[in-house]
Each structure stands twice: as structure tokens, then as C-alpha cells.
Amino acid sequence: MAAGLGQEGSGSAQDHAVQLRDVWVRLGREVILRGVTADIPAGQGVALLGENGAGKTTLLRVLASALRPTRGEGRVLGFDLRDGRSVREVIHLMPVDAGLYPDLSSAENLEFALRVYGQPGDVAGALARVGLGGAAGRRVRHLSAGMRKRLALARAWLLARPVTLVDEPFANLDDVGRALVLELLGDLRARGVTLVIAAHEPELARQVAPRALQLAGGVLVER
């Protein structure tokens, strides 16, 4: 690894949930991320800000090991980003499109997520928490965009992975829904989860993620 990145099990790796060094991502002829370097301490909440096309979603995908950097290195809770299997055991990505299975019911989506991570959980309680108790048996394809967002939020809250990445959590929600997002993400922070929230609403995101990083033209800076 590049100088400054702790090895798995070292003090540096334990102290930091995320470590990135000079990460570049090129897709075709377009450079999406340019030399991204960052350290995110464990348990911290980070608001990832930027305009459309700034590279926010790409950076989240890199952290989730869904996209390999063109150049550069990184670790999540001490695991090399190239070790996707280990990274995916400690991280959860809530994508902007919710990332749900449309032919499964609301409850089945949550039950499947728990099986994937091999953990117990109160599915009925999670659905009730986001106001979907009456939609447990409804297939996701029949839910509104706002309901799908609530279900994805319930899944993230239920799993409570050590590092949770959330892409545009306030989209497709009314004021009541946005308040619910803040409540559940705040609960995750209180449980020690490291949050990285990509959002267009900095005033909302920073209520639960007080540290702000700005992406502009693929370059990451502290804001």
C-alpha cells in the first residue's frame, strides 16, 4: 500500500473507517475522480457534497468495492478495496434508486438482506419504523418512489453495517419522510456507524453528518 495507509489489524486501520490515497477513476475517455485522498475516522458522519456529475456516486461505488479505481489505493476498516468480499461484509450502500428486488415483497427484501449478512433482525419492527407496516406483503414494483426510499432506509437501519453509504437519501420524500431519514440516520450515528451521505441538501445532510467534503470536477476538498 502507499505510504500512510495502515495495514489490516494495525492501529491506523482500526482508527479509520476509510482511507483513500490518490484515487483516480476513468470511465472510457472521461476522468470521474482525480487524485482523491481522504481519511474518515470510525464513527464519523461525512456529508459528501457536489453538483450532478461531480463524482459523488462514483466515489460511493469505489468505497463499496463495486467499482475498482483506475489508479490509487484505499482501505475500508483495514480491508484493501481490492478485497471486495471482505469490504462488502462491513459496508452497506443505499443507492439513489433504492437497489431493491422488485418481485420480492417489502418484508422479503429485508429478510433477504439479513440472510446475506448472516444476522438477525426485527423485520416487522423495521417496516413499522418507516411507516410501511401495512405494506409488508406488497411487491416492491407496486410501491411508490417514496415508499421504496423508505424501504431502502429501513434496510440500512436494520443492517446497521459498520460503514454505511447513502446516496441522495432525501430524494422523492416529503418533509415527513425527510424528517424520518434524519431520525434513522441519526440513530445509526448514535450506534457508532460511520456514515457517508451524498446529498444535494447540505443543510439536511450536515444535521447528521457535520463534516463536509466537496467534490467538484472529480477533485475532493474539505469544506
Give domain status of residue 14, yes or no.
no
Average pLDDT over residues 136-163: 95
Residue 196 within any structural domain of the chain? yes
**Number of compact structural domains in the chain:** 1
Residue 76 in domain: no
Q: Is residue 31 part of a domain?
A: no
Question: Is the CB of residue 197 less than 8 Å from the CB of residue 48?
Answer: yes
Mean pLDDT of 75-91: 95
- CATH number of residue 155's parent domain: 3.40.50.300
105 found inside a domain: yes
H or E segment and range at residue 71: strand 71-76
215, part of any domain: no
Are 41 and 13 in contact, with CB atoms under 8 Å apart?
Answer: no
What pLDDT sits at residue 13?
A: 52
Average pLDDT value for residue range 157-180 = 93
Task: Name the one residue in this structure whose C-alpha cell is 426510499.
Answer: 149
pLDDT in tens, 108-130: 999 999 999 999 999 999 999 99
pLDDT computed for residue 14 by the predictor = 56
Domain range for 133 is 43-66+82-208
Asked whether the predicted pLDDT for residue 25 surpasses 60, the reply is yes
Domain membership of residue 199 (yes or no) is yes
Please state the rounded mean pLDDT for residues 167-195.
94
pLDDT at 1: 37
In a domain, 90, yes or no: yes
pLDDT score of 171? 85
Q: Quote the mean pLDDT of the chain.
A: 92
Helix (H, G, I), strand (E, B) or coil at 3: coil
